Structure 1
Amino acid sequence: MSTGTPLTLPPELRARLRTLRLRPRLASGASGIGQHASRSRGAGLEFAQYRAYEPGDELRQIDWKLYARSDRFFVRESERESPITVWLLLDATASASQADRAVPQRTRLDHMRGLAACLVELALQQGDRFGLLAINGDGLQLVPAGNGARQRDRVHLQLHALQASGGWPAADRLRPLWERVRPGDLLLAIGDGFDEAGIVLLEHLASARREVMLLQVLTADER
């Protein structure tokens, strides 16, 4: 995968990705059927618990075998399997242009693009929504969250065009990030993790009920 051609994943890598899953710890979506257990209860796929019958409950939810044993009505509750929104946050400041002596023809940003493309593929195969946030000296570049193959193409095009430059922008230039990334969303930050302002941003997002994971991409010398 190089900066000179559009992003593509080798067939053998794509096949390996089919065996992997993104499993957020705090998933709480309730907008459809997906790969993630939601905290919301109701008629779903994964049994969660019994509770006493209440007026308005559907009769098909009553466990009649349990009624035969207890002479009381109980309803089976399940956890809904719901898609989430996955955001990829790339630190494309100047340090992302650093080459790796282990693979001299590739920069940190090249490796970050490849990792981001793999994560997009995982989100796509799980039916999740996904979007891209890229930060460099020009501020914030955004691909709003969506789903499907066309959304993957949009993210790939932005990744392909992304250039490493400048330093971490002022906080007010990142305000659109807070407007897009909602509580309960999964944010996967990809970068070297050395910028203090970037770490502070991730801490603030995590404390505001966004699930945050930092994927640190280091050169051979840094490792």
Structure 2
Amino acid sequence: MIDLIPPDLRAALPDLRLAPRRPAVAGGIGQHHSRSRGEGLEFSQYRAYEPGDELRRIDWKLYARSDRYFVREAERDSPLTLWLLVDASASMGQADAARPDRSRLDAARALAAACIAVALRQGDRFGLAIAGDGRLDLVPAADGPRQRDRCHLALHALHARGGWPEDAALRPLWERVAAGDLLLLLGDHFDEAGVAVAERLAAARREVSSIQILTGEERDFPFRGGHRFRDVEGGAEVLTDAASARSGFLAEFAAARTALAARLAAAGIAHATCFIDEPLDAPLRRLFGLRGRGGE
């Protein structure tokens, strides 16, 4: 199976940490220390070695002094549940002419897989929700390598089709995504329904972050001569002279992005932009990057 995470994005994973911005809610989910023991950064106690413990966790210096095996334990952060809501509507199939090998959906796949890798490293639970072709498909949240493989299979099978599902089809999100969970929306945000569901989840005390995935052509409008633009979801077409339309398009597109960012900020949603011709780690660093290696 092809690796979903490009090498440059994988190299950035040690600098990323998934953690909510809001204070922890009741129930033990959030960025706070729990009394659970395991692997972590802050030493808690020693305990006697038991069959099945990893050998790398044995304190060999203590063994040399006592001739007994002891395992180091640490207090760890309470586990988080991460949900990845991926837009798989038809517009996500768009790519740049200069980079036809990477569509918006390809970028969303890579970003989702990178977040899954970080969640797996942290020992967190993670689930996948795919919105497209008028339906919502779910991989319920769980943890571990098998869960990663289930999510990867679902991501590999994705095709950009149709539009966002109706509200009734989105009901499983409300049943599965609990208060205090972290949800990351990955999409172009051109569907009002997608932005609205992110706002509603944030209002219901879900921790919501957002990455808008755009093409370089939308950023630069590099077209020349007569050009036909087609809405892949609605089917409408516009034939125009690219040179005369360029300044107006760029102004309107910038205004739309500014309005979207303000709308999401008002809802308490952390937001970043991903251009598919730029390094994919940039939006993840903005949302989840550490201030320094080993620090928060």
* TM-score (structure 2 length as normaliser): 0.56
**Alpha-carbon distance between aligned partners in 2 of 1:35 and 1:126, rounded to the nearest angstrom:** 13
**Pair 1:105–1:9, CA change in 2 (3 A):** closer
More helix by share: 2
Say whether residues 1:208 and 2:204 are aligned partners: yes
| One-letter code aligned to 1:164 | A
Say whether residues 1:128 and 2:124 are aligned partners: yes
| One-letter code aligned to 2:131 | I
State the 1:172 CA deviation. 0.3
Contact between 1:143 and 1:154, CA under 8 Å: does it hold in 2? yes
Contact between 2:20 and 2:30, CA under 8 Å: does it hold in 1? no
Say whether residues 1:191 and 2:180 are aligned partners: no
**Pair 1:211–1:161, CA change in 2 (3 A):** same
State the 1:222 CA deviation. 1.9
State the 1:18 CA deviation. 1.7
Contact between 1:86 and 1:185, CA under 8 Å: does it hold in 2? yes
RMSD of aligned Cα (Å): 2.8
**Alpha-carbon distance between aligned partners in 2 of 1:218 and 1:120, rounded to the nearest angstrom:** 22
Aligned partner of 2:32 in structure 1 is 37
SS of residue paired to 1:36: coil
**Pair 1:10–1:197, CA change in 2 (3 A):** closer
Contact between 1:86 and 1:186, CA under 8 Å: does it hold in 2? yes
Contact between 1:27 and 1:185, CA under 8 Å: does it hold in 2? no
**Pair 1:124–1:31, CA change in 2 (3 A):** farther
**Pair 1:123–1:183, CA change in 2 (3 A):** same
SS of residue paired to 1:222: helix
Aligned partner of 1:141 in structure 2 is 137
**Alpha-carbon distance between aligned partners in 1 of 2:86 and 2:96, rounded to the nearest angstrom:** 18
TM-superposition CA deviations, 1:4-47 (whole Å, max 9, x none): x4434356643431232122112526778x99326x8x79998x
State the 1:88 CA deviation. 0.2
Contact between 1:29 and 1:82, CA under 8 Å: does it hold in 2? no
**Pair 1:131–1:28, CA change in 2 (3 A):** same
| One-letter code aligned to 2:16 | L
State the 1:193 CA deviation. 1.2
**Alpha-carbon distance between aligned partners in 2 of 1:43 and 1:124, rounded to the nearest angstrom:** 17
**Pair 1:165–1:12, CA change in 2 (3 A):** closer
* TM-score (structure 1 length as normaliser): 0.74
Aligned partner of 2:242 in structure 1 is none
State the 1:130 CA deviation. 0.3
**Alpha-carbon distance between aligned partners in 1 of 2:177 and 2:139, rounded to the nearest angstrom:** 12
Contact between 1:93 and 1:165, CA under 8 Å: does it hold in 2? yes
Alignment of 1:7-22 (within 5 A): 7-9=3-5, 13-22=9-18
**Alpha-carbon distance between aligned partners in 2 of 1:144 and 1:9, rounded to the nearest angstrom:** 22
Aligned partner of 1:52 in structure 2 is none
Aligned partner of 1:166 in structure 2 is 162
**Alpha-carbon distance between aligned partners in 2 of 1:172 and 1:23, rounded to the nearest angstrom:** 30
Give the aligned length: 184
**Pair 1:27–1:150, CA change in 2 (3 A):** farther
Alignment of 1:10-89 (within 5 A): 13-26=9-22, 28=24, 36-37=31-32, 81-89=77-85
Higher relative contact order structure (alpha carbons within 8 Å, sequence separation ≥ 6):
1
State the 1:196 CA deviation. 1.0
State the 1:143 CA deviation. 0.4
